[in-house]
Amino acid sequence: MKGEKKTQDDVVYEHIFDAILEQRLAPGTKLNEESLGDIFGVSRTIIRRALARLGYEQVVVLRPNRGAVVASPSLDEARQIVFARRVVEKAVTELVCENADANQIEQLKQMVRDEQACFDRGDLGAGIRLSGEFHLLLAEIAKNPPLLSFQRSLVSLSSLIIAQFEKGTAKSHCSYDEHFELIDAFAKRDKEKAVALMMHHLDHIEEKLNLGDEAEENDLKAIFSNVMSRKQSAPQA
């Protein structure tokens, strides 16, 4: 949408999309049309159009007579998202190796420098958003509109599954060192190396997620850990 005049619903859409990328909007958050209209100073019709677009990308669930909520992917859906992301990223990576010019390579490098600066100053949300936007920029460089559309949905859904299924308490984000390695492979048009680096990069992201069969049971144990600890410390009858 660069170079084009943005409509009001474009602006609302981008704000909500960025909030999901930055993990400021958690899975399951209710998106009240009236409240959003007040926040952005637009009509509910504009809000509905923006939410409909997000619904098409599956990052928002539109519930008849109950309003919209940020999607909460199930464990099975999270696995499907991870699989789909690998398929799309491989295709995008191959096309970037074929299409990227010197200006686009420099644009990628600047984005990763900005990403690194965000993490260095502790601006985690902006850093996470730029990590996602790096992959969206790759899809733009690939010059394949359907792949870009898929990638927009998958990158934002990935942010949601990280929020839901991340192991431990540390916030996950892409490694900017790995991003720089990818850019080097793109610049050399080394398709085989670039694909291998991208799959390795996605491996690292997936390793931080708890997507095994035991995930739901472990989540319950984490939620009720205080109850379990009291049971274990209670004297035996």
Instruction: Tell me which of 16, 46, 70 is where a domain ends.
Output: 70
pLDDT of residue 65: 86
DSSP annotation of 183: H
Residue 92 lies in domain: 75-208
* Mean pLDDT, rounded, for 39-54: 95
Q: Answer whether residue 130 is part of any domain.
A: yes
Query: Has residue 197 been placed in a domain?
Result: yes
In a domain, 29, yes or no: yes
Residue with tokens 């999270």: 78
Residue 46 lies in a domain: yes
User: Which burial class, exposed, middle or buried, applies to 227 when counting CB atoms under 10 A from its CB (0-12, 13-18, 19+)?
Assistant: exposed
pLDDT at residue 220, as a whole number: 46
Are 96 and 186 contained in the same domain?
Answer: yes
Question: Same structural domain for residues 81 and 49?
Answer: no
Q: What is the DSSP letter of 235?
A: P
Residues 136 and 186 in one domain: yes
Phi, psi of 69 (to 5 degrees): -135, 155
User: Using alpha carbons only, what angle is made at residue 107 by residues 92 and 178, rounded to the nearest 5 degrees?
Assistant: 60
Do 190 and 81 fall into the same domain?
Answer: yes
Inside any domain, residue 228: no
Q: Quick check: 180 pLDDT over 70?
A: yes
Residues 66, 83, single domain; the answer is no
Residue type at 166 in one-letter notation: E
Report, as an integer, the average pLDDT of 69-97: 96
- Which residues, at least 6 apart from 130, have a Cβ–Cβ distance to it below 8 Å? 111, 114, 115, 118
For residue 94, which of 196, 16, 19 has the smallest C-alpha distance?
A: 196
Whichever domain contains 13, its CATH number is 1.10.10.10
Residue 191 sits in the same domain as residue 87: yes
The residue to which tokens 């991870």 are assigned = 82
For residue range 133-157, list pLDDT tens digits in order.
999 999 999 999 999 999 999 999 9
Percent of the chain's residues with pLDDT above 70: 85
The β-bridge partners of 31 are 68
Backbone angles phi, psi at 198, to 5 degrees: -65, -45
Q: Find where tokens 């490098």 sit.
A: 109
Number of structural domains found in the chain:
2
Q: Of 52, 70, 88, which one is at a domain's C-terminal end?
A: 70
118 and 159 inside one domain: yes
| pLDDT over threshold 90, residue 188 | yes
Cα angle for residues 190, 195, 198 (degrees, 5° grid): 120
CATH code of 134's domain: 1.20.120.530
* Residue 46 pLDDT greater than 70, yes or no: yes
55 shares its domain with 139:
no
pLDDT class of 234 with cuts at 50, 70, 90: low
